[in-house]
Amino acid sequence: MKATVQGKVAVLMGGRSAEREISLMSGRGVLQALQSRGVNAHAFDPAQQPLCDLKTQGFERCFIALHGRYGEDGTVQGALELLGLPYTGSGVMASSLAIDKVMTKRLWQWEGLPTPAHVLLRRNHGKDADLQAVVEKLGLPLIVKPSREGSSLGLTRVTEAAALAAAVERAAALDADVLCEQFIAGEEVTVPILGCGDQARTLPMIRIVAPGGNYDYQHKYFTDEVRYLVPSGLPAGEELLISELVLRAFHSLGCRGWARADVMIDAVSRKPYLLEINTSPGMTGHSLVPMSARAAGLSYEDLCLEVLASARLDHTGGAT
């Protein structure tokens, strides 16, 4: 695939979030891929220079390779809307909704989409009575994580009630809102989505097999101990059901361009449960969207070009 995007492109990477290190890895990969296909692409780190420099430096569109806060949460998207610079991924509202796991769950529940039961705790409100109520509602084990962080940062699998307070404190160090979530015992899969509106499609599903079921930050990016199965090996009927569910979840939040949805499949009932959607997925050597794209015959470089070609603004009705 040859470059069809004209003009000067900024690859936004780094930023100020807790995922800065991963964002730099993603951004460097995207930058190299675009440049190798003839795109006039340049690195731009919002932590090092103000976003208004994008306009003064003549950039015409942006590939967002930022992760987490100040990059995946609608803030950068809003700034780019004001600057009139088309950008990749979801718009302001969808980005701000999707990064907030609690708000995402509320919307999915309203839409009738399956997602694990949860309890919201706020920083400094994790009293003994609150913690006991969490265990009574969700049972053990359960998952504790910050509502607005990615890459499994601050996530703890709690297997006994005595460990819950420390897990909540760990998550609260990263976010004022702490999500306590029902643990679904079974298989974990992830499903990338590419495209906008009716053209959105799912890429091959990946089944994740992590040591001891512990798919944490270290295992995601810095070890080779996790097995990624693509094809997933799941029955075709299950794959189809999950893919349809993921597309419904994607559209319900108003997402566009690309994303990756994480799903747990109950080992007994085989019912899938939506966990979250990432609207600015990782593009590192360990990342799952490029892995899935390769299984579909789409190279890393062509993936980057397709995502970049989808760059647009909210206020123009989605037109590039």
pLDDT tens digits for range 66-99: 999 899 999 999 999 999 999 999 999 999 999 9
Answer yes or no: is pLDDT of 125 > 90: no
Lowest-confidence segment of 47-51, 66-70, 256-260, 316-320 by average pLDDT: 316-320
Quick: pLDDT tens for 15-37. 998 889 999 999 999 999 999 99
Quick: pLDDT tens for 190-235. 999 999 999 999 999 999 998 765 545 554 545 578 899 999 999 9
The candidate with the shortest Cα–Cα distance to 274, out of 94, 100, 137, 105, is 105
pLDDT of residue 219: 44
pLDDT of residue 4: 58
Quick: pLDDT tens for 145-175. 999 887 578 899 999 999 999 999 999 999 9
CA distance 24 to 67: 9
The candidate with the shortest Cα–Cα distance to 207, out of 297, 292, 122, is 292
The candidate with the shortest Cα–Cα distance to 148, out of 120, 124, 129, is 120
Phi, psi of 68 (to 5 degrees): 75, -150
The one-letter amino acid code at 219 reads H
Distance of CA 135 to the CA centre of its chain: 27
Lowest-confidence segment of 49-63, 116-130, 263-277 by average pLDDT: 116-130
Task: Name residue, tokens 């989808």.
Answer: 310
Taking all residues of the chain, what is their mean pLDDT, rounded to a whole number?
92
Q: Is 71 helix (H, G, I), strand (E, B) or coil?
A: coil
Domain boundaries, the chain: 8-88, 97-114+185-309, 118-182
User: pTM here?
Assistant: 0.92
What is the percent of the chain where pLDDT is above 90? 83
Q: What is the DSSP string of 228-248?
A: EESS----HHHHHHHHHHHHH
CATH number of 97-114+185-309: 3.30.470.20
* CATH architecture of the region 8-88: 3-Layer(aba) Sandwich (3.40)
Q: Which long-range contacts (CB under 8 A, 24 or more apart) does 267-274 make?
A: 267/185, 267/186, 267/187, 268/186, 270/238, 271/114, 272/114, 272/238, 272/241, 272/242, 272/245, 273/114, 273/115, 273/116, 273/184, 274/108, 274/113, 274/114, 274/115, 274/245, 274/246, 274/249
Q: Are 97-114+185-309 and 118-182 in the same CATH fold? A: no
CA distance 228 to 111: 30
CATH number of 118-182: 3.30.1490.20
CA distance 45 to 43: 7
User: Does residue 264 contact residue 275 with C-beta atoms inside 8 Å?
Assistant: yes
What's the mean pLDDT in 97-125? 94
Query: Which sequence positions are flagged as catalytic?
Result: 19, 151, 221, 260, 262, 276, 278, 282
The candidate with the shortest Cα–Cα distance to 64, out of 282, 251, 299, 317, is 282
Q: CB burial class (10 A; 0-12, 13-18, 19+) of residue 97?
A: buried
